[in-house]
């Protein structure tokens, strides 16, 4: 191998190592983030679920090893895990109001995220309420963020914060 090829290999190795380290760091940060979110989410649930009936408690915290695909809180939890929403320090009343909404039979497949505190909140299915679209001004669970009262919001699935924002 001539000197030029050796230099190229070294450069290639360095680039790969950098990319690998960045990838590992990204994976580590996501894992730390997920652990933290999981603990805080579980703690918030634990504080609020005693306020619910036995049947609702089973829907909020289903028994068994794996959570069912149609777990009522799956969209909320996934938005947290993916960094699309955040979990501010909710008081029990706000958590209760959110859980009541998530338990509603007409929850829309898309949720909203507050652009100020990052809280994800469910939406009522507009079609189920008032018929086929357009019906974008249908009444909803929350007129504003139930935590910080901000009216600035976006669809959760469109909110893609960087991991620096999420774990920072
Ligand atoms: Zn908010």
Strand order through the sheet with 153-155: 120-121, 112-114, 153-155
For residue 7, what pLDDT is reported?
A: 77
For residue 14, what pLDDT is reported?
A: 72
State the sign of the Cα–Cα–Cα–Cα dihedral 102, 104, 110, 115: negative
Query: What spacing in Å lies between the alpha carbon of 146 and ligand 1's midpoint?
Result: 7
Query: What spacing in Å lies between the alpha carbon of 121 and ligand 1's midpoint?
Result: 9
Would you kindly state where each structural domain of the chain is located, as residue ranges? Answer: 3-167
Q: What is the mean pLDDT of each run of 10 residues along the chain (168 residues)?
A: 76 77 86 88 92 95 88 93 92 95 93 96 80 59 95 93 55
Cα 47 vs. chain centroid, distance in angstroms? 19
Query: What spacing in Å lies between the alpha carbon of 122 and ligand 1's midpoint?
Result: 13
Query: What spacing in Å lies between the alpha carbon of 119 and ligand 1's midpoint?
Result: 6
Query: What spacing in Å lies between the alpha carbon of 47 and ligand 1's midpoint?
Result: 20
Query: What spacing in Å lies between the alpha carbon of 118 and ligand 1's midpoint?
Result: 6
Query: What spacing in Å lies between the alpha carbon of 84 and ligand 1's midpoint?
Result: 13
Query: What spacing in Å lies between the alpha carbon of 4 and ligand 1's midpoint?
Result: 57
Query: What spacing in Å lies between the alpha carbon of 111 and ligand 1's midpoint?
Result: 14
For residue 57, what pLDDT is reported?
A: 95
167, 33 in Cβ contact below 8 A?
Answer: yes
Rounded to whole angstroms, how far apart are CA atoms 110 and 120? Answer: 10
């Amino acid at each position: 191998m001539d000197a030029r090829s050796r230099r190229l290999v070294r450069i290639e190795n360095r680039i790969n190592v950098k990319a690998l380290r960045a990838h590992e760091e990204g994976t580590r940060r996501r894992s730390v983030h997920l652990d933290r979110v999981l603990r805080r989410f579980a703690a918030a649930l634990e504080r609020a679920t005693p306020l619910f009936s036995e049947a609702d408690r089973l829907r909020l915290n289903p028994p068994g090893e794996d959570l069912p695909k149609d777990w009522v809180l799956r969209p909320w939890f996934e938005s947290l895990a993916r960094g699309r929403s955040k979990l501010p320090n909710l008081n029990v009343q706000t958590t209760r109001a959110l859980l009541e909404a998530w338990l509603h039979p007409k929850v829309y497949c898309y949720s909203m995220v507050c652009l100020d505190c990052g809280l994800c909140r469910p939406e009522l299915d507009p079609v189920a309420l008032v018929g086929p679209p357009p019906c974008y001004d249908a009444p909803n669970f929350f007129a504003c963020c139930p935590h910080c009262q901000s009216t600035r919001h976006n669809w959760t699935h469109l909110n893609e914060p960087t991991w620096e924002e999420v774990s920072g």
